[in-house]
């Protein structure tokens, strides 16, 4: 970020302020609900990373765009895995 003129995250409080996906502090959550929540959180993260990728492209920041492509690919794989796992859980009655 600093290399291209931006600022970096400065503290845990700053991280919390910028957080887009909220914490789930429930004491208990059924496994199938956890899978769905994780899948939806990953989908939201993919949307945010795609937006960042567009911005990197706009500013011809190839390094950041390339970095994001790897993360987007990994998150899309996680979404597929979580979707399939949640379908298995639904079929088995969990």
Phi, psi of 7 (to 5 degrees): -110, 160
Query: How far apart, in whole angstroms, are the C-alpha atoms of residue 50 and residue 89?
Result: 30
Distance spanning both ends of the chain, measured CA to CA:
44
Question: Given this model, what pLDDT does residue 92 score?
Answer: 65
Whether 94 has a pLDDT exceeding 60, the answer reads no
Average pLDDT for the chain: 90
Give me the pLDDT at residue 5, please: 78
pLDDT tens sequence across 48-88: 999 999 999 999 999 999 999 999 999 999 999 999 998 87
pTM of the model: 0.78
């Amino acid at each position: 970020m600093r290399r291209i003129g931006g600022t970096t995250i400065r503290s845990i409080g700053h991280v919390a302020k910028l957080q887009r996906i909220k914490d789930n502090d429930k004491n208990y959550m059924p496994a199938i609900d956890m899978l769905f929540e994780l899948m939806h959180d990953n989908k939201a993260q993919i949307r945010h990373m795609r937006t960042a990728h567009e911005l990197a492209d706009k500013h011809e920041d190839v390094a950041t765009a390339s970095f994001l492509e790897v993360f987007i690919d990994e998150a899309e794989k996680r979404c597929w895995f979580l979707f399939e796992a949640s379908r298995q859980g639904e079929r088995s009655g969990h």
